[in-house]
Amino acid sequence: MMGGRVVFVLLLVIGFGFVGLSRVAEASEGDADPLYIDCIDECEKTGSLKQGFVKHCASSDEFPEDPWYKQEPLYLKWKDWNCKSECRYQCVVQREKEREEIGLKPIKYHGKWPFKRASVFQEPVSAALSALTLLVQFNGWLSFFLLVYYKLPLRPDTRKPYYEFTGLFHIYGVFSMNAWFWSAIYHSRYSDWTEQLYYSSSVALLGFSLILTIIRTFDVRKEASRVMVSGPLLAFLTTHILYLNFVGLDYGLNSKVCIVIGTLRLLLWPIWASITRHPSTLKLWIITIGGFVSIFMKIYDFPPYMGYVDAHALCLVLAVPFSYLWWAFVKEDAEMRTNLVIKKTR
């Protein structure tokens, strides 16, 4: 009876999630705004705005470049804005002021809400939360490493951990720290290359997480079977990442792909834990519920409050404690599997 209720709730969650996919726009409304497009074209050509001037787009005759020995070092130039990024930001600010004056609500530009800068940070709240999550992920991975290699017994013949999924979780840790690093960089500074690295690393993390989820929940231990499971998924993920980088960064398509992958991953863990009566079942249910809350906030998005905190920033708030809970589950799973394997070998 209880199992039937759980299945019903999960199916209901899936239904709402996939209905919500229709709300994910294929392109941002602001990108097609003729006044915004004209503002960008004029700004990049002349550096002129209705109110102000973008010095980064000025011609070399008006603002001659300093000799090389008077220029700032490269490691200090990161804090400056180039013509394209500055024109985008100033035109977004200009158009949103015009829209606000006639009573229109904020809209997205290039897949992002209009945010207020803080010093050199494009999205200060999201950048800080991404950096904090990176620290939590590193701490979780490091504690897992110390646990399996220095606290738990090792196999006497190979001196390797008894936990069969150690290598996979090490790879997951690398993917995770890489993704959160680029999340912090991207939310600090918008640029074409930081955007591509952010989206690519996020898709890679989600995709590998699904592979890891399938291998662990179905207890796939043979290398050949793992290759058969991961091969098709790796091919799809590689194709999708190449498409985003070399064909076009389709925000709507990428959102749908990430939501589907995330939904499948979140559903498998609590079902498996409930069936096997894993000691970390409660942790996995909390992570799953929080994960679906994050998915719904991304689907039913809202503009940033006071220009700083939007739905995505709230998702990053949830990511901090859930990252801690995740690595707590991984360590408990490693301890449980190690004790089980040792008992079987005696």
Give the pLDDT band of residue 19 (cuts 50, 70, 90): very low
DSSP state of 154: B
10, amino acid identity: L
Predicted local confidence at residue 68, as pLDDT: 53
For residue 121, list its beta bridge partners: 118
Give the pLDDT band of residue 65 (cuts 50, 70, 90): low
Predicted local confidence at residue 70, as pLDDT: 52
285-291 own/partner pairs: CB under 8 Å, 24+ apart:
286/322, 286/325, 287/322, 287/325, 287/326, 287/329, 290/318, 290/322, 291/262, 291/266, 291/322
Predicted local confidence at residue 60, as pLDDT: 39
Predicted local confidence at residue 308, as pLDDT: 87
Residue 36 Cα distances to 39, 168, 189, 294, 303, angstroms: 5, 46, 21, 31, 18
For 305, the 3-state DSSP assignment is strand
Predicted local confidence at residue 2, as pLDDT: 41
Q: What mean pLDDT is predicted for residues 4-14?
A: 48
Residue 68 is encoded by which pair of tokens? 């090389």
Q: Is the pTM of this model over 0.75?
A: yes
| pLDDT tens per residue, range 194-212 | 889 999 999 999 999 999 9
In degrees and rounded to multiples of 5, residue 111 shows phi and psi of 80, 5
In the block, which residue shows the tokens 């490493």?
Answer: 145
Judged against a pLDDT cut of 70, whether residue 320 lies above it is answered with yes
DSSP state of 22: G
Q: What mean pLDDT is predicted for residues 198-227?
A: 95
CB 184 within 8 A of CB 131: yes
For residue 154, list its beta bridge partners: 161
In degrees and rounded to multiples of 5, residue 109 shows phi and psi of -130, 125
Closest CA to 144 of 287, 324, 327, 279: 327
In the block, which residue shows the tokens 């863990």?
Answer: 269
The highest-confidence range among 26-35, 236-245, 304-313, by mean pLDDT, is 236-245
Give the pLDDT band of residue 58 (cuts 50, 70, 90): low
Judged against a pLDDT cut of 50, whether residue 9 lies above it is answered with no
Ramachandran quadrant class, 111 (left: phi over 0; alpha: psi -120 to 50; beta: rest):
left
Residues of the chain with pLDDT > 70: what percent? 84
Q: What is the Cα 224 distance to its own chain's centre?
A: 30
The torsion defined by the Cα of 240, 205, 292 and 106, in degrees rounded to 10, comes to -60
What is the rounded average pLDDT for all residues in the chain?
85
Judged against a pLDDT cut of 50, whether residue 61 lies above it is answered with no
| pLDDT tens per residue, range 90-122 | 888 888 888 888 888 888 888 788 888 887 788
Judged against a pLDDT cut of 50, whether residue 169 lies above it is answered with yes
Give the pLDDT band of residue 251 (cuts 50, 70, 90): confident
| pLDDT tens per residue, range 22-33 | 444 445 678 888
Range of lowest pLDDT (17-21, 37-41, 123-127): 17-21
